[in-house]
């Protein structure tokens, strides 16, 4: 989480399915959300000078709207049905969104070509993309590739889009504590587990920043794709079913 946030401005698409596999959906989603906050704060501090105000202005209200809509969807997912059904729903949602983001990044070049040379980042589209990202982050702790691919289609360089994503995700990760706490997914028990893992997050952030400063654009996206492959494998295993996969072991 720390490396991905500071190194490529993302990370939920790989960390979220891995953590759900390890701890189960309700605990895994809460622990990742708690770990995302220090990772997001560190990433924002490291990239704060790269965030451009004209890009951020539509994204900030989108963080509030996306989190509110995501909170309603998350409430629907966890408030009805037996515990096994709730877990299965969350597994499929986390895995399905992660697979969507794998596909988006793998298709980033054709999508950029389809958008055309004159495709620009407009306030309306920034708001819509930011709302989608906020929704996805609240429900499944992932979604940064949605914004990354949009920025690539707009021919915005890595410095600008990592800076914008870092600022957006810091705000959104604070906001999503509200629905997670109200729904009982985040509580003192799993927050303590996140505190134990937090030093590793900061160490990863240090490694990620060193990578970010020295990586070329091609290496940057090569690492992005490697993380996507890991996220893809973890997501496929979640689609099969956590209990089934654990039974194989």
Are the C-beta atoms of 29 and 141 separated by less than 8 Å? yes
Does residue 9 have a pLDDT over 70?
no
Helix (H, G, I), strand (E, B) or coil at 10: coil
Tell the burial category of 122 from Cβ atoms under 10 Å away from its Cβ (0-12, 13-18, 19+): exposed
Give the pLDDT mean for 82-95. 89
Question: pLDDT (tens digit, 9 = 90+) per residue, 153-164?
Answer: 888 877 787 888
At residue 121, the pLDDT reads 85
Q: Which of 52-66, 69-83, 115-129, 150-164 has the lowest mean pLDDT?
A: 150-164
* For the chain, domain boundaries: 2-248
Residues 72-78, mean pLDDT to the nearest whole number: 92
Alpha helices in 107-215 (DSSP H): 108-115, 123-140, 144-153, 158-175, 177-182, 188-214
Whole-model pTM: value is 0.83
Q: How far is CA 66 from CA 141, 146, 155, 205, in A?
A: 13, 13, 25, 26
Q: Among residues 56, 37, 51, 42, which one has the least CA distance to residue 7?
A: 42
Lowest-confidence region among 23-27, 47-51, 123-127: 47-51
Residue range 75-95: average pLDDT? Answer: 88
Q: How far is the C-alpha of 21 from the C-alpha of 244, rounded, in Å?
A: 11
Other Cβ atoms less than 10 A from the Cβ of 42: the count is 22
Name the residue with higher pLDDT: 8 or 32. Answer: 32
66 has pLDDT over 90: yes
Q: Which two tokens stand for residue 64?
A: 């509030």
Q: Does residue 10 have a pLDDT over 70?
A: no
């Amino acid at each position: 989480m720390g490396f991905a946030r500071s190194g490529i401005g993302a990370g939920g698409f790989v960390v979220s399915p891995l953590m759900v596999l390890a701890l189960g959906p309700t605990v895994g989603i809460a622990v990742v959300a708690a770990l995302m906050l220090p990772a997001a704060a560190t990433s924002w501090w490291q990239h704060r000078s790269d965030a451009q105000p004209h890009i951020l202005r539509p994204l900030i209200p989108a963080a509030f709207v996306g989190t509110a809509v995501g909170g309603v969807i998350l409430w629907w997912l966890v408030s009805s049905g037996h515990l096994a059904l709730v877990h299965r729903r969350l597994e499929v949602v986390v895995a399905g969104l992660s697979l969507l983001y794998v596909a988006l990044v793998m298709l980033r070049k054709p999508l950029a070509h389809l958008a055309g040379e004159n495709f620009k980042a407009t306030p309306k589209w920034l708001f819509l993309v930011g709302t989608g990202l906020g929704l996805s982050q609240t429900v499944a702790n992932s979604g940064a590739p949605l914004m990354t691919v949009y920025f690539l289609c707009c021919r915005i360089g890595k410095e600008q889009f990592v800076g914008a994503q870092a600022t957006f995700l810091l705000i959104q990760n604070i906001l999503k504590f509200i629905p997670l706490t109200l729904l009982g997914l985040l509580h003192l028990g799993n927050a303590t587990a996140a505190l134990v893992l937090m030093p590793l997050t900061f160490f990863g952030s240090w490694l990620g920043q060193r990578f970010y400063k020295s990586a070329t654009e091609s290496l940057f996206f090569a690492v992005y794709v490697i993380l996507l492959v890991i996220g893809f494998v973890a997501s496929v295993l979640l689609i099969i079913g956590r209990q089934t996969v654990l039974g194989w072991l």
